[in-house]
A and B are shown apart, each in its own frame.
Chain A
Amino acid sequence: MKKKNPHLRKALDLAVKGLSSLGSGIGIAVLFWILFEVVRRGAAAFNPAFFTELPAPPGVEGGGLANAMLGTLMITGLAALFGVPAGMLGGVYLSEYGRGKRFGDVVRFVMSAMMGVPSILVGLFAYGLLVVTSGHFSGWAAVFALAMIMIPIVSRTTEEMLLLVPNALREAALAVGSPRWKVTLSVLFRAARGGLVTGVLLAVARVTGETAPLLFTALNSPYWPDKLSEPTANLTVTIFNYAMSPYENWQRAAWGGSLLIVASVLALTLGARILSREKKT
C-alpha cells in the first residue's frame, strides 16, 4: 500500500467527521423547520370558531373546520375498528398457526408487499370497488381504504410481538388444559400487551395523516358528516383543497388543519415510543 501523509489522512478524517455532523444537523434542522412553521402558521388560525363551526366561503372571515375534524375522527376510528382486529388475527395466524407452512410464507410476503403499495393505489382500488359500484363517493369507501392500509402494519407488529413471548408460557398454559384461543387471547396477548398497543398506535398515526386514499373515496364536503354513505368532510383533503385555492383565509385554515394533524400524529408516535421503551426496561 502506498504510504500517505499522516497529516492528510487526519485532515480527511476530520473533514468526514465534520460532514457527518453537518449531515445530522441538516436532518434535525429540517424537522424543526417544518414543525416551527406548522406551529407558527397553524396557531394563527386557531380560535373558538375554528373548532366549532362549519367552513366559511372564500374571502369571508370566520368559520371553522369542525365538520372535517369530526369526519376525520369518524373515518379513522371506524377504519381502526375494522383494521385492528383483522390485522391482529392475521398476525396471530402468522405467529401461532402458520409457522413453517408454505401458506404462512405466502401471506407474510403478500403482507409486506401490501405495506409497500402506494396509498394512492389503495384509494384507486376502493374507488373501483365501492365508489363505482355504489354510484357515489362515500366515507365508507375511505374507511375501507384506511383499514386496508392498517391491516399489514398491525399484522406485522402482532406477529413480531407474539414471537417474543417465550414458548414455555404457551406450553404451560396448554398443559393446564386451556384451549388454544384462550391461551392466545388471555396469556399471549397479555404478555405482549405493550407491544401490541404500540403497533396499533403507530398504525393509527400512519392513517391519520393519509390524504391520497381519501381523494377518490371520501372526497370532501362542506357539511356535517352525518352519513358516511355520502362524500364526507375530512381534514387532510380539506388541507389539500384549501392550500391549492387562491383564497387567503382558506390557506390560513389549511395551516390550522395541518397543525392539528401534526400534533395528533406526533402525540400518537411519541406515545407509542414511550410505551415500547417502558416495556423494554
Chain B
Amino acid sequence: MSQARPAGRWGDRLFGALSFGCAALALLLMAGLFFEIASGSAQALSRFGLGFVSSSAWDPVRQDFGALSSIFGTLVSTFIALLFAVPLSLVIALFLVELAPPFISRPVGLAIELLAAIPSIIYGMWGLFVFAPWLSEHLQPFLQELFGEECFLVAGPPIGIGMLPAGIILAFMVLPYTSSVMRDVFQMVPPVVKEAAHGMGSTTWEATRRVTMRYGIQGLVGAIFLGLGRAVGETMAVTFVIGNEHRLSGSLFAPGNTIASTLANEFNEASEPMYRSSLFALGLTLLVMTLLIQVATHLWLRRIQRKMGAGL
C-alpha cells in the first residue's frame, strides 16, 4: 500500500485509528466498570472486610450489612431455574431435531426463540399479575398436599411470591438460550453415527441417550453454563416476584431476594453512604460471579472447539 495516493493514505490512517479506538473503547469501558463498582464498594468492604459475603445482617438503621441472604437467593433461584430449564430444553431440542418435520419444527423453534425477545420487565408484569395468582390457586396448594403442610420446603402461605415463582420464571427466560445451544449440539452429531444406532435396532430415545447425548455431552454442559450466566444477573422479572425480603429460608414459598433484585429495589432509597457502598459491594459480588462463569464458559467452549472443530 505504500504507493497509494496521499488522500487514501491519510484516510486509511484515520480509519484504522478510529476502528482501533473503538475496539480499545470496549477495554476502557470494561475496566471503568470494574473500577467504578470496586471503588464504590471500598467503604463497605473496608468496614466489613471479607465477612461481608458471609454475614446475613441487613440493617439500614444500625448500618450493618452483609451479602449472605442475597447471595443465597441468587444461588437458589438460579438452581431452581436450571432444574426446570435444563430438562425442558433438552426435550425441546430433541423434539425439534429428531421428531418434528420441518414444517412443524421451524415455527416451534421460532416461538421458543421469541421467548428470548420478551423483555425482563414483561416477564415481571406477567409473573406478578398473572402467574403468581395462578400458582397460589393451583400449583402451591397441590404441592403442600403432596409434601404435607409441615414440610419445610413448602412452609408458609401460598401467595405465589417467593423463590419458587422466581425460579420458574427465570427458567422460561433462560430456556431459549439453553435449548438453542442444545439444538445446535444435536444437529452437529454426524448422521452416520445416529443411523448406525438405528441400524442396530435402537429406538429414537435409545439412539439419543446412548449416542447423540454422549457424543455431544460437552456441548450440553456448555449450554448449562450459558443458562447459568443468564440467570444469575436477571433483575426485573425476579424483582417483581421474589418478594424482596432479606432472609434465609429453606421454603420454596418464602419471599427472598437476589443480588440484582436488592440493587433494583433499594438503591434509590439508600441515602446513607455506608448503605449505598454496601449495595455497590453487592454489585461487585455479582460482577465477580458473572465474570467467573464467563471465563469458565469460555475455557470450556474453547476446549470443545479444539476437540470437535469449529461450528459451535
A contacts, CB < 8 Å to B: 9-10, 12-13, 16-17, 19-24, 26-28, 30-34, 37-38, 41, 85-90, 92-94, 96-98, 103-104, 106-107, 109-114, 116-122, 124-125, 127-129, 148, 151-152, 155, 174, 177-182, 184, 205, 208-212, 215-216, 219, 236, 239-240, 243, 251, 254-255, 258, 261-262, 265-266, 269, 273
B11 at interface, CB cutoff 8 A = yes
Q: Of B7, B203, B260, which is within 8 A of A12 by CB? A: B203
Which of B55-63, B214-222, B233-241 has 4 or more CB atoms under 8 Å from chain A? B233-241
* Contacts A10-B203, A121-B33, A219-B268; A116 near B22 (Cβ below 8 A): no
B252 at interface, CB cutoff 8 A = no
* Chain B neighbourhood of A32, CB < 8 A: 111
Which of B13-21, B46-54, B64-72 has 4 or more CB atoms under 8 Å from chain A? B13-21
Establish whether residues B206 and A180, one from each chain, have CB atoms under 8 Å apart when the complex forms. no
* Chain B neighbourhood of A103, CB < 8 A: 23
Establish whether residues A266 and B22, one from each chain, have CB atoms under 8 Å apart when the complex forms. no
**CB within 8 Å of A: which B221-235 residues:** 229, 232-235
* Contacts A97-B20, A151-B25, A240-B236; A184 near B15 (Cβ below 8 A): yes
* Chain B neighbourhood of A21, CB < 8 A: 95, 99
Q: Which residue of B lies closest to A17 (CB)?
A: B99
Residue of B118, B121, B293 ringed by the most chain A CB atoms within 10 A: B121
Establish whether residues A211 and B121, one from each chain, have CB atoms under 8 Å apart when the complex forms. yes
Summed over the interface, the residue pairs from A and B with CB atoms below 8 Å come to a total of 263
* Chain A neighbourhood of B128, CB < 8 A: 243
What separation, in Å, do the CA atoms of A162 and B108 have in the docked complex?
A: 30
Establish whether residues A181 and B233, one from each chain, have CB atoms under 8 Å apart when the complex forms. no
* Chain A neighbourhood of B235, CB < 8 A: 118-120, 211-212
Establish whether residues A181 and B11, one from each chain, have CB atoms under 8 Å apart when the complex forms. yes
Specify the main secondary structure of chain A where it touches its partner. helix
What separation, in Å, do the CA atoms of A124 and B15 have in the docked complex?
A: 33
Establish whether residues A38 and B125, one from each chain, have CB atoms under 8 Å apart when the complex forms. yes
Q: Residues of B within 8 Å of A, CB-based: how many?
A: 87
Establish whether residues B126 and A180, one from each chain, have CB atoms under 8 Å apart when the complex forms. no
Q: Which residue of A lies closest to B233 (CB)?
A: A118
* Chain B neighbourhood of A88, CB < 8 A: 22
**Min C-beta distance of A118 to chain B, whole Å:** 3
What separation, in Å, do the CA atoms of A217 and B18 have in the docked complex?
A: 28
Establish whether residues A124 and B294, one from each chain, have CB atoms under 8 Å apart when the complex forms. no
* Chain A neighbourhood of B21, CB < 8 A: 89
Residue of A212, A216, A239, A261 ringed by the most chain B CB atoms within 10 A: A212
Which of B139-147, B148-156, B158-166, B279-287 has 4 or more CB atoms under 8 Å from chain A? B279-287
What separation, in Å, do the CA atoms of A114 and B263 have in the docked complex?
A: 19
Q: Which residue of A lies closest to B239 (CB)?
A: A240
What separation, in Å, do the CA atoms of A267 and B293 have in the docked complex?
A: 32
* Chain A neighbourhood of B40, CB < 8 A: 124, 128
Q: Which residue of B lies closest to A120 (CB)?
A: B235
Which of B75-83, B86-94, B188-196 has 4 or more CB atoms under 8 Å from chain A? B86-94
* Contacts A9-B203, A97-B20, A254-B125; A124 near B175 (Cβ below 8 A): no
What separation, in Å, do the CA atoms of A93 and B249 have in the docked complex?
A: 50
Establish whether residues A129 and B36, one from each chain, have CB atoms under 8 Å apart when the complex forms. yes
Establish whether residues A262 and B233, one from each chain, have CB atoms under 8 Å apart when the complex forms. no
Q: Which residue of B lies closest to A209 (CB)?
A: B119
* Contacts A20-B95, A37-B130, A97-B20; A116 near B290 (Cβ below 8 A): yes
Known: A23-B91, A34-B118, A89-B23. 14 other contacts (CB 8 A): A16-B91, A89-B22, A103-B23, A118-B232, A125-B37, A128-B40, A148-B29, A180-B12, A181-B11, A215-B264, A243-B125, A254-B125, A255-B129, A273-B110
Establish whether residues B8 and A182, one from each chain, have CB atoms under 8 Å apart when the complex forms. yes
Q: Of A37, A93, A212, A243, which is within 8 A of B23 by CB? A: A93
Establish whether residues A120 and B263, one from each chain, have CB atoms under 8 Å apart when the complex forms. yes
Q: Which residue of B lies closest to A147 (CB)?
A: B29
* Chain B neighbourhood of A273, CB < 8 A: 110
Establish whether residues B27 and A112, one from each chain, have CB atoms under 8 Å apart when the complex forms. no
Establish whether residues A96 and B118, one from each chain, have CB atoms under 8 Å apart when the complex forms. no
Q: Which residue of A lies closest to B291 (CB)?
A: A113
What separation, in Å, do the CA atoms of A31 and B235 have in the docked complex?
A: 20
